[in-house]
Amino acid sequence: MIPSPAISTLNLGPFTIHFYALSIILGITVAIYVGRKRYKLLGGNPDEVSDAAIWAVPFGIIGGRIYHVITSPQLYFGANGNPLDALRIWKGGLGIWGAISLGAFGAFIYFRKNKTTLNFSTFLDALAPGVLLAQAIGRIGNWFNQELFGKPTNLVWGLEIKPSKRPVGYEQFLTFHPTFLYELLWCLFIAILLIKLPGYLRKIPSKSGDIFVMYIFGYSMGRLWIESLRIDEANLILGLRLNIWVSITAIISSTIYLILTRARKKPTNHNVSS
């Protein structure tokens, strides 16, 4: 089995360091580093990525938290919930769709307010693989918090969860699917594909922004089956978890967009390979 960490925080005098928060910070740092490198290879000024991050990061964190609270209101406003917990981000709970949507909006504000070397859609293309790497690193924080795991399993990589962290009705089970690990590996896989894709895109019509849309498509495909394994509380629509419906919507929307893009005649040369 995969053991769960005995601790999720580190106390240094009056300060408490949460490993979940460290995972998020490390992920953001990697995303900016990879984004700068790719943006420069596309002909842009890499400092624009760092400057855009000043807008995108806080917007993304706020958006991710808002999405999480809206889609899991019972955790904060239910019978046993505490509304103030909605502000305690370090305890976990950032919805990726809210983070991406509002984070992208924050970066868009920066591009509208400033004269940049490349356009906003090219910026999104440059950033997409790094965002996936950030998501992968962020999932390590879920391991420290013993959260976002899946159904009980006897597989050799089953995750051991201590009794106090097991959901109601699952107290008798010892090991569960490490769905955050599945998502971590899936994000790494899609990130590698996106880094290698430009070499193939030279042969077919494409435009700036396509790589980012492919990120949405690829991540959603993985989230679809990973979400179906999870047993944490979630709102249901027609018997399916809300995030499954969001993933289906993202898959359909990105597919339609890419089909329409392929129908365009003028290609954009993507030369980023690392």
Indicate the residue type of 254.
Answer: S
Per-residue pLDDT reduced to its tens digit, 237-271: 888 998 999 999 999 999 999 888 776 655 555 55
Residue with tokens 């509208």: 112
pLDDT of residue 53: 95
Residues contacting residue 183 through CB under 8 Å, at least 6 positions apart = 135, 136, 139, 222, 223, 226
Please report the sign of the dihedral spanned by the C-alpha atoms of residue 217, residue 222, residue 223, residue 224. Answer: positive
Q: Which of 264, 129, 272, 128 is nearest to 204 (CA)?
A: 264
CB neighbour burial string for 99-125, b if at least 16 within 10 angstroms, e if fewer: bbbbbbebbbebbeeeebebebbbbbb
102 pLDDT more than 80: yes
Higher pLDDT, residue 204 or 108 = 108
Mean pLDDT of 164-188: 94
Domain coordinates in residue numbering, the chain: 16-263
In the 8-state DSSP scheme, what is residue 176? E
Q: And the tokens for 207? A: 């435009």
Please report the sign of the dihedral spanned by the C-alpha atoms of residue 5, residue 8, residue 10, residue 14. Answer: negative
Per-residue pLDDT reduced to its tens digit, 116-147: 999 999 999 999 999 999 999 999 999 999 98
In the 8-state DSSP scheme, what is residue 158? P
- Tell me the sheet residues that pair with 160: 175
Q: Which of 9, 26, 29 is nearest to 17 (CA)?
A: 9
